[in-house]
Amino acid sequence: MISITGLSIVAALATACAAALSLILTTGLSIVAAMATACAAELSLILTTGLSIVAAMATACAAELSLI
């Protein structure tokens, strides 16, 4: 049989675990949100830079073709 002390220890552990999980979830979500924001910013930078590189290459190619 489980003693009352054992049950209170299990209850205390369960409470602590729930609190820790809730903290991890809240912190985790804010970390994920921060990562998503940073990722979106990087993607937008990569896209803009990539497009400007493509535009520069197209311009250079057109200039070379006109020379040929």
User: Total structural domains in the chain?
Assistant: 1
* Eight-class DSSP state of 2: -
The CA distance from 12 to 7, in Å, is 9
The CA distance from 52 to 39, in Å, is 20
Q: Pull the structure tokens for residue 30.
A: 């804010």
Distances in Å between the Cα of 22 and the Cα atoms of 18, 50, 63, 65 are: 6, 41, 61, 63
Q: Where in the sequence is the domain holding 51, given as residue range(s)?
A: 7-68
Q: 67 in a domain, yes or no?
A: yes
Q: 32 in a domain, yes or no?
A: yes
Q: 60 in a domain, yes or no?
A: yes
Q: 13 falls in which pLDDT band (50, 70, 90)? A: confident
Q: 58 in a domain, yes or no?
A: yes
pLDDT single digits (tens) 36-68: 888 788 888 888 888 888 888 888 888 888 887
Q: 50 in a domain, yes or no?
A: yes
Measured between alpha carbons, how far apart are the two ends of the chain, in Å? 93
Q: 2 in a domain, yes or no?
A: no
Q: 42 in a domain, yes or no?
A: yes
